[in-house]
Homo-oligomer: A and B are copies of this chain.
């Protein structure tokens, strides 16, 4: 079963839609590879400033396809391992991508769908949408980095409850917990995420790439290590045309124009 990945361009933003509504956008190995490829291309395309990830049919992603998972009981291990390896390569690609990635979540995210949303840098969620770390309901355990990624944002007891029960956790609670950035009325998550992405896309691209890498590394580095990383990136930033433009614009009380600089390099 191939993936259907739709890519729409709006100015400096690309909107990537996992568009398989008849399966609630269930994930498969083609999607893993396809989305990772999309990110690899976006990473080196200076005309792309930010990325929105969403799902077709007013649902973010149901996670694994049950009929596919059912076959795994009798699938040789190398083939099963290959699928997880691709999933995990995609999650690493999201984390390592130099551009901000915003998840626009309508309906809900379940299983690896939660991993996919939680791997993004920012999350916009419809007010009736939910996360369900549903693996336990079918006797599995999380993959796609669900436990790694939720641990970056949630208290252990709350995350344990999500993972041990598979219960649905609604947008309001996830916003309170700080794992979701914005909650909007049902049906408008994509619009909100796209507007936010367009706004970010006007920002300094290399500066934002440095910031993203710091936000990711901060969870794994000691204070000393993170200070060293901040130092190295600041030294680079100080002579980058972006900061020269940013500081000049500020002192001259005019808006900075980073767009031209983004296209230089």
- Which residues of chain A have a CB within 8 Å of any CB of chain B? 66-67, 69-70, 72-73, 75, 77, 80-81, 84-85, 88, 91-92, 95, 100, 121-123, 135-161, 163-165, 176-181, 200, 203-204, 206-208, 210-212, 214-224, 226-227, 230-231, 233-235, 237-240, 242-251, 256, 258
Given contact pairs A100-B164, A140-B246, a sample of 19 additional A-B residue pairs in the complex whose CB atoms are under 8 Å apart: A66-B250, A67-B251, A69-B243, A73-B239, A75-B238, A85-B231, A91-B223, A100-B160, A136-B203, A139-B206, A140-B238, A145-B226, A146-B230, A148-B221, A150-B218, A154-B155, A156-B219, A157-B179, A220-B222
- With A72-B238, A158-B181: A204-B84 Cβ-Cβ less than 8 Å: no
By the criterion CB–CB under 8 Å, are B67 and A157 in contact? no
By the criterion CB–CB under 8 Å, are A77 and B145 in contact? no
By the criterion CB–CB under 8 Å, are A235 and B84 in contact? yes
Query: Whole-angstrom distance between the alpha carbons of A88 and B225 in the complex?
Result: 11
- The chain B residue with its CB closest to the CB of A205 is B139
Query: Which residues on the B side are within 8 Å of A142 (C-beta)?
Result: 211, 214, 230, 234
By the criterion CB–CB under 8 Å, are B122 and A84 in contact? no
By the criterion CB–CB under 8 Å, are A91 and B227 in contact? yes
Query: Which residues on the B side are within 8 Å of A159 (C-beta)?
Result: 215, 218
- The chain B residue with its CB closest to the CB of A206 is B139
Query: Which residues on the B side are within 8 Å of A143 (C-beta)?
Result: 230-231, 234
By the criterion CB–CB under 8 Å, are A135 and B219 in contact? no
- The chain B residue with its CB closest to the CB of A161 is B181
Query: Whole-angstrom distance between the alpha carbons of A247 and B243 in the complex?
Result: 54
By the criterion CB–CB under 8 Å, are A138 and B67 in contact? no
Cβ 8 A contact of A164, one of B73, B121, B216, B251: B121
Distance from A78 Cβ to chain B, minimum over Cβ atoms (Å) = 10
By the criterion CB–CB under 8 Å, are A155 and B140 in contact? no
Cβ 8 A contact of A69, one of B72, B121, B247: B247
- With A70-B251, A230-B148, A243-B139: A80-B220 Cβ-Cβ less than 8 Å: no
**Residue of A135, A141, A206 contacting most chain B CB atoms (<10 Å):** A141
